Amino acid sequence: MDATPTASPQSSTNSAPSHTATLVGSMEGRYGEGARALIRIVRMACRYPVRFPLAIGTVVAAGVFQLLIPRYLGRAVDNATGMLTQAATVEAQDALWSAAFLVIAVTVLRGLFTLAHNYFGETIGQSLGYELRLAFFEKLQRLSFSYHDRIHSGDLITRGMLDIEGVKRFIETGILRVILLAVLIGVGAWMYMGHDIVLGLLCVSFVPFALWRGMVFRLRVRALWRELQERMSVLTRIMEENLGGTRVVRAFSAQKFEMKKFNEWQQRCLDISLQRADVRYVNTSLMTFSYYIAMALVLWVGGLRVIAGTITVGELTQFLAFMTVLQMPIRQIGMVVSGIARASVSGVRMFEILDIDPAIRDKPDARELVVSEARLAFEDVSFAYDGFAGEHTISHISFAVKAGETLGIVGPPGSGKSTIANLIPRFYDVTDGRITIDGQDIRDVTLDSLRAHVGVVQQDTFLFTTEIRNNVAYGDPWAEQDKVEDATGTAQLHDYVAGLPAAYETMVGERGVSLSGGQRQRLSIARSVLLTPRVMVFDDSTAAIDAGTELRIREALKEVNKTRATVIISHRLSSLMHADEILFLDGGRIVERGGHMELLAKNGRYRALFDLQMGAAKDGAKDAMGDDAHA
Amino acid sequence: MPWATTRMPDTVPPPSEESRRSALQPRNRRVKALSSEDTFGKVFDGNVVKRFGEFLIPYRRQIYMAIASVTIFTFTQISVPLIIRYIVDKALVVGAGGERLLLIAVVGFFFVSLVNYVSNYFQTIVVAKMAERILNDLRGAMYGHLQHVSLAFMDRTQVGRLMSRLQGDVGSLQEFLESSIFAIGDFVLLFGIVFVLLMLDVQLGLLTLSVLPILFIVRVIWLPIARRAFMHARQTNSIVNSALAENINGVRTVQEMGRQGVNFDAFEDKAADNYRAHIRATKLAQVMIPTVDTLTGLAMAIVIVVGGNMVLDKALDLGVMVAFLFYVQRFFDPIRSLTMQYTVSQRAMASGTRIFEVLDVPVEVEDKPDAEDLGVIDGSIEFRNVTFGYVEGLPVLKNISFKVAPGETVALVGPTGSGKTSTMALLHRFYDVWDGQILIGGRDVRDVTQESLGRHIAMVLQEPFLFTGTVFENIRYHCEEASLDEVIRAATAVGANDFIQRLPNGYHTILGQRGVNLSIGQRQLLSFARAIVANASILVLDEATANIDSFTEREIQTALARTLTGRTGVVIAHRLATVRGADRIIVLQDGEIVEQGSHTELIARRGLYHRLHTMNYASFDDAPGDLARLDPAGAT
């Protein structure tokens, strides 16, 4: 409907919905994508030009040596019966000794090569994990707010933890394990069929059946696994909400209701878990059974041949021992299959994040922001959030404020006040119009320089689990203690902190002291003050601070404010009455603007709000004087 | 889960005096905290095993069945080389009738395979299903218990830590249970092989078995070193992951402050530590492989040289030598699994300790055996000489007495820490009083069931909590019989209908963590509606201190008045407007009632209330504590 500027290079509106779709999209019908992800992981592994070929070489060697063990065992058996050396027993004894040495040599070599391929596989996996982890971390630090608005933080954390794990295990449990299985089964069959085609075929006869069951098993377990994950996440959420909202539960004496909810979902999870056990164990035991049937056939056919004199007991032993070698891979088929499945799902999820093109980033020719009089200007700015094309949160906003001046913005909830605050440091890009600082479009300068000069004090303060000092000096970790104390002094927080047992070294966060809303806001103010930005935006950041303290903060800021442009967003008029210009916002548009007295004189919305807020205070004052006008 | 692995310090500084983040959260409480989340404990903890045993009792039959199948399964495994031996020695010797004996042996082998198949299926399925069920039982027991443990415990325990017990720890007990039963199979296998080898030939058997102690000693030396490396690797995992989680949660602040570079460097260090720890753990883990292989080779060589010579000398049947070769290949499996079992049980014991710790958290408030339903009451409230506190010797409420008549609204006012929140919690019997009595409708709260008490008292908390679910489900909450009409009527009464209708799906819009987020004001309105649907005769309200804009505030005042109509109300008031709307005001200070009366009376009195009032703060709680305490003794 609206003429959304989809052609505009800065606009991310057209690319964003597709991301949303893939982020929440089901895993169904995405095998192609999964396969591409696996190929990409292999390609990444190829970037280790020494270790990767070494890993593959050693895994092949380990398989071949393992296949040689049955051969020498069989020879030893024949030696023992003296069949090959029907001459003197001394020669037979020598042959036994040499067979024994060969067996030791082959097993030791197999062990060493196994060690080598496991080691190389693991180091590649770990290096890959390390790289991915850093890339992931880097990426999510650069992703703009609009992505973080959409992506559930829990989902990002899962990707960073479990999916990286799934990808890095793929090298070992996927690639190398598959090669080993292929060598053992393929080269083994070839080696032993060369000896006796029928027996060799019988030895591996169970493999197609086992593979088929493995595939069936994989498909069914994958479906069940996904279902279980979904049900588990509901159960987890039920538990988390119950424990987090325990007061509500008790306030309504709703324990029975809650237990019913819990039991129902726990039962649902159990149903799937039991089904999964059925599928898994029906298949694994069938696979083992097929193996034993094949062995019975080898015993029978092989036995008949020994009786007929076509092969020796030693050769029969060889075939049987070869089957023993195959027992391990058969047990691992399930593991390998689910490892690959996990890696493909994890890979898709991982690359989905890594491939996001950050909507907000430096232009190739971006310059440093140069600030002289710190003149911040909105020039006919409109903005719509991603996925809400056409529904502008703010429309046609224009204003200018420079060093020494203060702009106030007021308006009912949802009128677009915070949006304005988030546009200034370019947490989002404008949909239309432009924002300039001293005449430079903020999209033409580097993000680093822009954010170094713009400070936003947000409504909600995120505390990091560290000392108060580090929390205050978050933007400048090497700040001197004096500087930190100056900042907290300005924010009227110093006295409180100094009074704590460990003062600035006190831990905050979940396991430390918990700060009240007002204290958190003051800490947030201190954080921004410390960085001495030239444009400072207070986004409703004094709401939980009492009026007296707020006044003291304002006094403390007076001197530095001469060199900086200040934007104050608040719904408390006393916080912004003193501003040089006040914008009254409603529905994303400026409905009134002017100085305080000017606006009062207008007798409009601003005046109504003023009366509403001041009325209560005046009534209070009247009451205090004993005027009993109220029932 | 990030929190599941995060290691926390054991001791926690007491929460700040000013902490106001959770509604009704009493201050200065001291409850026994949960212990820290160490990954490993003792290898065997009699107490844990005993308590765990109680959960196994209902599954006795399955356990016997599992053990029987494991044993049968193991026997079939042991008998395979014996059948081969029989074939080699009996059927394959030159002479007539070989084919028939061979056929008999192969049929026998097939039969053994069948038994193997059936017992294999049973052992795995029975054990797996039983373990799943026991896991559910354990989780259900913990969860059910947590519904009733003292609130003080819930306040000081992070949800994440409880969740890690409900999920992670329960999981490791499940793993332990499964592996223990298979360990029985390993024991049988180990002793079975040893027995069969010695039976077949004592001399060769002893010689071959001589490698066993070597492996055993090597593993005993290796295990503690490797375990330390594994533990370290795991710890670095949780360090990296919690750094990641914190950065994701605080990403906006990170970007605002331009901390990306510093954070990246710090994260890189942690990731590099993690990398190194894992490589070291790998090296240690892999060392074992050639060791075991060499020993296997050695054992085979012994069989070949010694056994082969014996065969040449006709002192040993060829089939026995072949059987020996097959046994040697399987030799080390049980030892490997059994030593693994060591780590599993260590982890399980630690998990068990943590699970039973939760189950042992005392339930302080319980229904009396003869507790009755509160029945129909008039909604009157009386506190009779109530003394109460959270820490012995430090009463928070001191000998408080007051009455609230049916239909009356009383506002509780007082500086932070004066005991308002505790008064409210006691009313609902979240805690039991130390001394005195609390009567609802003339009956002691301790004599009636908590459930019936809950039916009569509706509470609106400071920070209204929304469950994931629709608006409709949230408003009716546990009153499942409430119809959509009733819900709409309640919402309309409190003036929430308008904004609800504007939500994408109206009353069926999903709310909560993963749904639409409402402002505090809107949530507050929803919880008023919730209280109306619950249709209780008493409404207890802890007013939000959080910033609510003037527009919403007016709506809330109207809603509150509507909600209170026809109900007894106790309101912890922070806002002037609310206080003035009350029939009576009770002013608390340091756990005592210092003043009570109507707004006008109290103003005239020029005491604490007057002083709080004239300071003209938006909220009484904003008043700095020292100001409230500057008490010219005459006021009381």
Write the CATH number for B405: 3.40.50.300
Most confident of B231-240, B266-275, B334-343, B526-535: B266-275
pLDDT winner (highest mean) among A363-372, A379-388, B34-43, B124-133: B124-133
Q: Cβ of B632: how many Cβ atoms within 10 Å?
A: 10
Mean pLDDT of chain A: 81
What pLDDT, on the 0 to 100 scale, is given for residue A631? 30
Partner-chain contact A256 B451, CB within 8 Å: yes
Read off the pLDDT of each residue in A471-483 and give the average, rounded to a whole number: 84
Using an 8 Å CB-CB cutoff, list chain A residues near B478: 252, 254, 256-258
CB contact under 8 A, B2 and A129: no
Type of residue numbered B157: T
Give the number of C-alpha atoms closer than 13 A to the C-alpha of residue A292, restricted to the C-beta side: 27
Q: What is the pLDDT of residue A90?
A: 75
* pLDDT level of residue A56 (50, 70, 90 thresholds): very high
User: Quick one: average pLDDT of B31-57?
Assistant: 72
pLDDT at A13 over 50: no
Total domain count, chain B: 2
Question: CA-CA distance, B440 to B377, in Å (whole number)?
Answer: 8
For chain B, percent of residues with pLDDT exceeding 90: 13
Is residue B624 one of the residues assigned to a domain?
A: yes
Average pLDDT, stretch A41-68? 91
* Position B34 confidence tier, pLDDT thresholds 50, 70, 90: low
pLDDT tens-digit readout, B477-523: 877 788 888 888 888 888 888 888 887 788 888 776 545 567 777 78
pLDDT of residue B13: 34
Is it true that A25-195+333-359 and A376-459+533-622 share their CATH fold?
Answer: no
Nearest to B106 among A156, A299, A477 (CB): A299
Task: Please judge whether B297 and A621 are an interchain contact, meaning their C-beta atoms are less than 8 angstroms apart.
Answer: no
| Higher pLDDT pick, B294 / A28 | B294
**pLDDT computed for residue A248 by the predictor:** 80
- Check residue B95 and give its pLDDT: 64
Backbone angles phi, psi at B460, to 5 degrees: -120, 120
Q: Is the pLDDT of residue A488 over 60?
A: yes
pLDDT digits (tens, 9 = 90+) for A529-551: 888 888 889 888 777 776 677 78
- From A509's Cα to the closest Cα of chain B, the distance in A is 11
The pLDDT assigned to A624 comes to 37
Report pLDDT for A3: 34
Q: Is B96 on the interface with A (CB under 8 A)?
A: no
Asked if residue B332 has pLDDT above 70, the reply is: yes
CA–CA separation, A554 and A546 (whole Å):
12
Confidence of residue A497 (pLDDT cuts 50, 70, 90): confident
Taking only residues 173 to 192 of chain B, the set having a beta carbon closer than 8 angstroms to any beta carbon of chain A reads none
- Least confidently predicted of A14-18, A417-421, B75-79, B323-327: A14-18
When pLDDT is cut at 50, 70 and 90, the band that residue A183 belongs to is very high
A225, pLDDT greater than 60: yes
User: Do B341 and B484 share a structural domain?
Assistant: no
Residue A87: its pLDDT value, please?
57
Q: Is A119 in contact with B258 (Cβ distance < 8 A)?
A: no
Give residue B635's pLDDT: 33
Query: Which one is predicted more confidently, B577 or A206?
Result: A206
Name the 3-class secondary structure at A566. Answer: strand
With beta carbons under 8 A apart, name residues in chain A contacting B249.
153, 462
Mean pLDDT of B59-81: 91
B442-480 confidence digits (pLDDT tens)? 888 888 888 888 888 888 877 677 787 888 888 888 777
Reply yes or no on whether the pLDDT at A595 is more than 70.
yes
Reported as a pLDDT band with limits 50, 70 and 90, residue A88 is low
Chain B residue numbers with beta carbons less than 8 Å from the beta carbon of A543 are 547
- What is the token pair recorded at A36? 């591409």
> What number does CATH give the domain A25-195+333-359?
1.20.1560.10
Helix extents (H) in A82-163? 89-142, 145-150, 153-158
pLDDT interval class at A586 (50, 70, 90): confident
Mean pLDDT, residues B120-139: 90
Residue A440's pLDDT is 87
Residue B228 binned pLDDT confidence (cut-offs 50, 70, 90):
confident
* Predicted local confidence at residue B42, as pLDDT: 67
Distance from C-alpha of A78 to C-alpha of A85, rounded to nearest angstrom: 9
The verdict on B356 and B392 lying in the same domain is no
**Any chain A CB within 8 A of the CB of B611?**
no
**CATH code at B108?**
1.20.1560.10
Per residue in A234-271, pLDDT tens? 888 888 888 877 878 887 778 888 888 899 999 999 99
Residue B513 shares a structural domain with residue B589? yes
Tokens of A118: 């496991």
Residue from A272, A273, A285 whose CB has the most chain B CBs within 10 Å, to mutate? A285
Task: Name the residue with higher pLDDT: B42 or A344.
Answer: A344
Q: Which of B23, B290, B540 sits opposite A108 (nearest CB)?
A: B290
Q: How far apart are CA A350 and CA A33, in angstroms?
A: 12
Residues B341 and B478 in one domain: no
Distance of CA B448 to the CA centre of its chain: 30
CB neighbour list of residue B465: distance below 8 Å, 6 or more residues apart: A241, A244, A245, A247, A248
- Say whether B143 and A259 touch across the interface (CB within 8 A): yes
Q: Which of A622-626, B154-158, B228-232 has the lowest mean pLDDT?
A: A622-626
Q: Count helices and strands (H / E) in chain A.
A: 24, 10
Residue B286 has pLDDT above 50, yes or no: yes
Q: Is residue B7 part of a domain?
A: no
Interface of B with A in 241-260 (CB under 8 A): 241, 244-260
Task: Give the separation between CA A371 and CA A384, rounded to whole angstroms.
Answer: 28
Question: What burial class does residue B471 get, using C-beta atoms within 10 Å of its C-beta: 0-12 exposed, 13-18 middle, 19+ buried?
Answer: buried
User: How does pLDDT run across A416-471, given as a tens digit for each residue?
Assistant: 888 888 889 888 888 888 998 888 888 888 888 888 888 888 877 787 877 888 88
Residue appearing with tokens 């108060």: A468
What is the pLDDT averaged over residues A616-622? 46
CA of B446 vs chain A CAs: smallest distance (Å): 15
Interval B136-153: pLDDT, tens? 999 999 998 888 887 777
pLDDT given for residue B59 in this prediction: 92
pLDDT value for A61: 95
- Structure-derived torsion over alpha carbons of residues A553, A558, A563, A565, reported in degrees to the nearest 10: 60
Q: What is the pLDDT at residue B622?
A: 45
Tell me the residue range of the domain where B99 lies. 39-199+337-364
Strand partners, A432: A382
Same domain? B489 vs B617: yes
Instruction: Tell me the chain A residues in contact with residue B440 when contact means C-beta distances shorter than 8 Å.
Output: none
Q: Considering only the top CATH level, what class is A376-459+533-622?
A: alpha beta
A623/B580 CB distance under 8 A: yes
- Looking at residue A8, its pLDDT comes to 34
Cβ-Cβ contacts under 8 Å, A515 against chain B: 16, 18-19
The better pLDDT of the pair B617, A16 is held by B617
pLDDT surpassing 90 at residue A357: no
CB contact under 8 A, B600 and A628: yes
Domain boundaries, chain A: 25-195+333-359, 197-310, 376-459+533-622
CA–CA dist B560, A373 (Å, integer): 50
Interface residue B547 vs chain A (CB under 8 A): yes
Rounded to an integer, what distance in angstroms lies between the CA atom of residue B589 and that of residue B386? 15
Residues B551-580: pLDDT tens digits?
677 777 777 887 888 888 888 877 666 777
- The interface residues of chain B toward chain A in range 4-33, judged by CB-CB distance below 8 A, are 8-9, 12-13, 15-16, 18-24
Rounded-to-10 torsion of CA B271, B273, B277, B283: 90
Contact check, Cβ <8 Å, B132/A273: yes
Per residue in A275-290, pLDDT tens? 988 888 888 888 889 9
Q: Phi, psi at residue A399, to the nearest 5°?
A: -165, 170
Question: How large is the average pLDDT for residues B19-26?
Answer: 35
Q: pLDDT confidence of B118, banded at 50, 70, 90?
A: very high
Average pLDDT, chain B: 80
Instruction: Assess whether pLDDT exceeds 70 at residue A132.
Output: yes
Identify whether residues B399 and B536 lie together within a single domain: yes
Please tell me the predicted confidence (pLDDT) of residue A539: 86
**Which residues have CB under 8 Å from A10's CB, separation 6+?**
A359, A429, A430, A443
φ/ψ region of B436 (left if φ > 0, alpha if ψ in -120 to 50, else beta) reads left
Residue B154 domain-assigned (yes or no): yes
User: pLDDT value at position B416?
Assistant: 64
Residues 103-162 of B with CB under 8 A from A: 103, 105-106, 109-110, 112-114, 116-117, 120-121, 124-125, 128-129, 132-133, 136, 139-140, 143-144, 146-148, 151, 154, 158-159, 162
- Give the ipTM of the model, two decimals please: 0.79
- Distance (Å, rounded) from C-alpha B156 to C-alpha B159? 9
Nearest CA in chain B to A311: B92
Asked if pLDDT for residue B32 goes beyond 60, the answer is: no
Residue B313 in any domain: the answer is no
